[in-house]
């Protein structure tokens, strides 16, 4: 998904920090003249972007999410906890010979065990300083 952003600063060679602009009704084409604009987002959303075009601070640019392992992250975040839940429930019923209600305990333990890799992966991605976006072109 292509988005508009403003280059805030150059972090290092080929990488810039950008402020992502939310899509609004007015498009924020007022160049800051509307100081009392209620449409402007209250918080700035900052992200790192690879800067192959040499954009400078203050430039309006078009960015798109960097190609990455989005599918793999989705699998870890969503399917592993579900798989842990199912395995915990199955082990509670078949190995521990628990009833349907009592197998709920091992199912919750399996769910928690499935959430651990998702939490650790998310933490590693958050701490990495890899660009999350690619700058495509200058808009103005």
Query: Which residue range(s) make up the domain with 122?
Result: 70-127
pLDDT digits (tens, 9 = 90+) for 28-63: 555 555 555 555 555 677 888 888 888 888 888 988
pLDDT at 112: 92
pLDDT at 35: 53
Query: Does 23 score more than 80 pLDDT?
Result: no
Mean pLDDT of the chain: 79
Query: If phi over 0 gives left and psi between -120 and 50 gives alpha, with beta otherwise, what is residue 14?
Result: left
The structural domain count of the chain equals 2
| Residues 75 and 61 occupy one common structural domain | no
Per-residue pLDDT tens digits for 78-107: 888 899 999 999 998 888 888 888 888 899
30 and 58 share one domain: yes
Q: Same domain, yes or no, for 60 and 107?
A: no
Do 41 and 17 share a structural domain? yes
Same domain for 74 and 51: no
CATH number at residue 30: 2.40.50.140
Domain match, 119 and 133 both: no
Percent of the chain with pLDDT over 70: 79
pLDDT for 34 equals: 56
pLDDT band at residue 119 using 50, 70 and 90 as cut-offs: confident
Q: Are residue 21 and residue 58 in the same domain, yes or no?
A: yes
């Amino acid at each position: 998904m292509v988005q508009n952003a403003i280059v805030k600063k150059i972090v290092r060679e080929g990488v810039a920090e950008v402020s992502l602009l939310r899509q609004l009704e007015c498009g924020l084409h007022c160049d800051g003249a509307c100081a009392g604009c209620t449409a402007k987002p209250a918080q700035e959303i900052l992200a790192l972007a690879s800067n192959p075009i040499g954009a400078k601070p203050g430039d309006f640019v078009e960015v798109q999410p960097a190609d990455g392992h989005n599918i793999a992250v989705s699998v870890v975040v969503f399917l592993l906890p579900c798989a842990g839940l199912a395995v915990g429930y199955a082990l509670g019923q078949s190995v521990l010979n628990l009833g349907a209600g009592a197998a709920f305990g091992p199912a919750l333990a399996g769910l928690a065990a499935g959430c651990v890799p998702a939490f650790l992966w998310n933490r590693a991605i958050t701490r990495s300083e890899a660009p999350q976006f690619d700058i495509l072109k200058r808009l103005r």
